[in-house]
Amino acid sequence: MLSKKTKYGIKALVYLAKQEVRVPVQIATISKAENISQKFLESILLTLKKKGILGSKKGKLGGYYLVKEPETVAMAEVMRVLEGPIAMVPCVSLNFYEPCDDCPDETVCAVHNLMEEVRDSSLKIFNNKTLADFI
């Protein structure tokens, strides 16, 4: 299940991507427009800033803005930043792989094989959708 953090992060990114001019937008403005707790949104936007997706400016005219062009921000990147691994089990994760303690042979494990297929299908969608697709 998608966490609220990721859901709200995507909503905030889409809101910023829809802005015609790339000027900083205050957290309060995004919070009100997208019905997201301002305190929670602040934490989400800070995470996205630390990963280089957003920039920020302090002061009266400050706020957050997209650093990258919307067509270069793939949903896979956003998902990994906010949600963590895309795979549902660690033994099929491409970036966070860990073997399962209870599985002696991944090649014949029904769960592993199913989740690998789920991961591949999800990645195909997440890699081919960018913020530009939601503008």
Structurally, the chain folds into a number of domains equal to 1
Q: Containing domain of residue 48, as a range?
A: 4-66
What's the CATH number where 39 sits? 1.10.10.10
Per-residue HEC secondary structure of 2-49 comes to CCHHHHHHHHHHHHHHCCCCCCCECHHHHHHHHCCCHHHHHHHHHHHH
Q: pTM for this one?
A: 0.88
**Domain contains 126:** no
Instruction: Report the number of secondary-structure helices (H) and strands (E) in the chain.
Output: 5, 2
Hey, which of 57-61, 101-105, 119-123 has the most confident mean pLDDT? Answer: 119-123
**Domain contains 92:** no
pLDDT in tens, 36-85: 999 999 999 999 999 999 999 998 888 999 999 999 999 999 999 999 88
pLDDT in tens, 18-34: 997 788 999 999 999 99
